[in-house]
Structure 1
Amino acid sequence: MKILLLGEYSNLHWTLAQGLRALGHSVVVASNGDRFKNYKRDIDLSRKSDNIIDTLKYAYLLSKNFRQFKGFDIVQIINPLFLDLKPYKNLSAFNYLKKHNGKVFMGAFGNDAYWLQACLNKNTFRYSEFDIPNQSDYLCSAKDIIKVWTDEDKVNVNKEIAERADGIIACLYEYFVSYKSQFEKKLTYIPAPINTSEIAFTQRGKDPSKVRFFIGIQKQRNEIKGTDILYKCLQEVQLKYPNECIIHKAESVPYDEYITMRDQSDVLLDQLYSYTPGMNALTAMAQGLLVVGGGEPETYDLLNKKNNHPIINILPSEEDIFNKLENLILNREQIPLQSINSRLFVEQHHDYLKIAQQYLDTWS
C-alpha cells in the first residue's frame, strides 16, 4: 500500500513508518518533527513563527507539498489539528485529503476535545491532570489546555473530523476511553510502536550499591506532566539516601541527546497523571530501564495482560511517590530482573513490526 502519515507526536509516526516499510509498503511521513524534539520525517512541515513572513512561507510550503498528497491508499493524521493552522484551515486540509486519497484515519494520540471532555467530566478517570486529589483549582498549564480545547471552532472541527474519518485509532487507554462512548464502531486501540531492533538492551542494576534515577523536564510541560512533583520527591529520597540515590536530569534537550543521557540510568521517572506508558516510557523500558509512571490496571486489561506488570505505578500523592522511590532503593537487588521484564513487555506488546501489522489490519 501507499501510505501518508501526516503530523508527529513522540516519534510515533516515524516508528510506525519503519515497521510498515519493513513489511513492504511505501510510506511518506510529513511533519514538523514535533517541534524542538526534531524527530525524523521525509517532508518537513515546520512553521517557524506566527509573523507574517513565516506565515507566508508556511502557506507556500503546505501548498507545494499538498499537491503531492494525492493518490495514497491510506492517510493518517496525528490529531484533528494536524497542521499549524487555525481549526477550519485544518478542516479544509482534511477535506482535500478525503477528496484525493483512499481512506483517511484520525489519530487519537494527544490532547484534543474528546480527551479533555473525558478528563473534565469527573466520571471517566479516577484522577487526571485536571482532577488532582486534594487540589481545588486547576493547574495553570491545565487552564491553558482547557482554553485551547473548549474553543468552539476547535471542538466543532474535532467533532466533524472524528465523524467523517474512516476510522479513529487511539494509542493510549486514556484516548481510547475518551472516544469509546460515541465512536465505538469506528474506534480501534493499537499500542504505540517501538523499534526494538534499534534500541540496545542493557540490564540495569549491575551496581548494587546505587540506583541511578533519570528525569526529563520540559519547561513548558513540567507542571502538566507532574515532573515538578516527581523531581521534588526524588530530591527528598536523595536527602534520605545520599549515597544510594543518583539523579540525572535533562531539561528540554533534543531527542537524540535525551536518549543518550537516559541510557546512563537505571530508573526513568515519567508522568504523574497518566494511566498508560507513552513513547518515552516504552523506549526507556526497551533500553532496560525501570519506569516510574502510569501503569494502572486498565492499561493491562486493554492489553489482556495477566502477568508481567513491570511499570511502577504511582498515584498523584507525594507520599505514594516517595514510598515507591524509596522501595526501589531498599530493594535494589530486584532491579536486574525488573529490567529484563521491562524489555520483555515492550517486545511482546509494542514491537514495531507487530504494531505495523495491526495498523494494516485495521486500515483494511
Structure 2
Amino acid sequence: MKILLIGEFSRLHNSLKEGLNYLGHDVIIIGSGDLFKKLPVDIDVSVKFFNNSLGRFLRKITFRVFGFDIADLETFLRVKKNLHQLKGFDIVQLINEDAFNLNPGLQKLILKPIFKHNKFVFLLSCGDDYTSTNYHLNNKDRYSVLTPYFKDSKLKKKFQYSLKFTTKPYKKLHDFIVANCNGVIASDMDYHIPLLEHPKYLGLIPNPINIKKIKFSPIKANNKINIFLGINTLSRIKKGIPFFEEALNIIQKKYPEKVDIKITKNLPYNEYINIYNNAHIVLDQVYAYDQGYNALEAMAKGKVIFTGAEKEWLNHYDLKEDTVAINALPDVNQIVKKLEWLIQNPKKIEDISKNARSFIEKEHHYITIAQLYLDTWKNH
C-alpha cells in the first residue's frame, strides 16, 4: 500500500513508517519537523524565510497589526507546492487536527484536495485537539494538562495552544476533518478516555517504538545516581515541570553526594536523546495518565521514568504500580519520596530498568504496532 503520514511531533510517524516499511509498504511523511526538535520528514514544509532575522521582524509587525502569523502563508505555499505529490495514496493519516500547525482556514484549504484525491483518511488523537481539550474543560477529573489553568486563570496565556482548539475556527476545522475521515485513533490513555463516546472512535493503538534503533543499556546504580530533566519551555507548565524542579532542589540539598542532576532546555531531538544516555532516572511529565513518546523511548533504553502511570494505564496493561515506570503526581512531596525510595534502594532502579525495556518490547514494538495500524485501517 501507499501511505501518507501528515505531521510529526515526537517520532511516532517515523517509527510507524519504519514498521510499515518492514512490512512492505511505501510511506511518505510530510511535515515541519516540529520547530526546534528537527524531526525527520520526507517532504519538509517548515518555515524558512520567516525564521531568519528579517522574517521574524516582519512576522512580529504583521501579527501586531493584523493579528495573523504571516509565517502561516509560507507553510501554506510550501504545502501547496507539493500537493501534486500528495495524491493517489491508499491511506492518509493526520498526526493531529493541527497536523500542519497552520491557521485553520488555510489548513482546511490544504486538506480539501488531500481528502479528495486519496482513498481513506484517518485522524490520530495525539496531542491537544478539540475532543480532549473540550473533555478536560467539562470533566475536571483528578487532573489533566489543564489543571494549572483551572487553579490559576492568569495562566491563560500559557494555555493558548490548548485552548485554541475550542475556538470557533478550530472547532470548524475539527468538524471538517471528522466529517471527512474514516475513523479516529488514540495514541495513549490520555486521548483514549475523552474519545470513548466518539462515534468514529476506532480504539487505542500504543505508540510504536523502534527497539532495533534504541539499544537497552543495563543500569548499574553503584555510584552516583544520575537524574535527568529535559525541559521544553513551551510546555513547561502543562507538563508540571515546576514540581520536578522543586523536588530536584530538595534532593540536591539532601543527597549531594549520591546524585548527579542534569537539566537542559529546548534541545533538538538528537541532542536530547544523546544527553540522557548516562541517566538512570528521567523526569518526564506530571499531568498525564500514560507515557508520552519521549518517556517511551527512554524506557526502551532502560531508564526509570517519572511520568504518567496511573491506575487506568496499569489496568489496561495489567501492571503493578512502580514496576515499569513511576507515576509522578502534581505533588512535590510525593516526587521527593519516590526519588528517595530509589536513591536508598538502587537495586529497584535496576529492576524497573529491565521491566521498562520488556514492557516496550511487548506492548510498543514498532512492527507489531504497524500491523495493528494496518488491521485497523483495513477494517474501516
Q: Distance in 1 between matches of 2:180 and 2:152?
A: 38
Aligned to 2:65: none
Give secondary structure in 2 for the equivalent of 1:67: helix
Size of the aligned set, in residue pairs, is 361
Matched, 1:269 2:275: no
Q: Distance in 2 between matches of 1:82 and 1:133?
A: 24
Whether contact under 8 Å (2:221, 2:350) holds in the other structure is no
Aligned to 1:341: 355
Aligned to 1:30: 30
The Cα of 1:186 is off from its aligned counterpart by 3.4
Q: For the structure 1 residues 146 and 270, does the alpha-carbon distance in structure 2 shift closer, same or farther, using more than 3 Å as the test? A: closer
Aligned to 1:174: 190
Whether contact under 8 Å (2:148, 2:155) holds in the other structure is no
Q: For the structure 1 residues 165 and 26, does the alpha-carbon distance in structure 2 shift closer, same or farther, using more than 3 Å as the test? A: same
Aligned to 2:168: 152
Aligned to 1:192: 207
* Among 126, 131, 135, the residue aligned to 1:109: 126
Unaligned runs of 5+ in 2: 51-55, 63-69
Q: TM-score, normalised by structure 2?
A: 0.89
Q: Distance in 2 between matches of 1:248 and 1:308?
A: 23
The Cα of 1:80 is off from its aligned counterpart by 1.4
Matched, 1:203 2:218: yes
The Cα of 1:261 is off from its aligned counterpart by 0.6
The Cα of 1:188 is off from its aligned counterpart by 1.9
What amino acid is aligned across from residue 20 of structure 1 in structure 2? Answer: L
The Cα of 1:137 is off from its aligned counterpart by 4.0
Matched, 1:330 2:347: no
Aligned to 2:228: 214
What amino acid is aligned across from residue 31 of structure 1 in structure 2? Answer: G
* Among 258, 262, 267, the residue aligned to 1:253: 267
Q: TM-score, normalised by structure 1?
A: 0.93
Whether contact under 8 Å (1:29, 1:41) holds in the other structure is yes
The Cα of 1:334 is off from its aligned counterpart by 1.9
Q: Distance in 1 between matches of 2:40 and 2:282?
A: 24
Whether contact under 8 Å (1:212, 1:248) holds in the other structure is yes
Unaligned runs of 5+ in 1: none
Whether contact under 8 Å (2:130, 2:165) holds in the other structure is yes
Aligned to 1:122: 139
Matched, 1:72 2:89: yes
Give secondary structure in 1 for the equivalent of 2:147: coil
Give secondary structure in 2 for the equivalent of 1:168: strand
Identity of aligned residues (%): 37
Whether contact under 8 Å (1:119, 1:130) holds in the other structure is yes
Give secondary structure in 2 for the equivalent of 1:198: coil
What amino acid is aligned across from residue 17 of structure 2 in structure 1? Answer: A
Q: Distance in 1 between matches of 2:76 and 2:171?
A: 24
The Cα of 1:166 is off from its aligned counterpart by 0.4
Q: For the structure 1 residues 138 and 332, does the alpha-carbon distance in structure 2 shift closer, same or farther, using more than 3 Å as the test? A: farther
What amino acid is aligned across from residue 188 of structure 1 in structure 2? Answer: G
Q: For the structure 1 residues 168 and 203, does the alpha-carbon distance in structure 2 shift closer, same or farther, using more than 3 Å as the test? A: same
- After superposition, the CA RMSD in angstroms is 2.2
Q: For the structure 1 residues 147 and 333, does the alpha-carbon distance in structure 2 shift closer, same or farther, using more than 3 Å as the test? A: closer
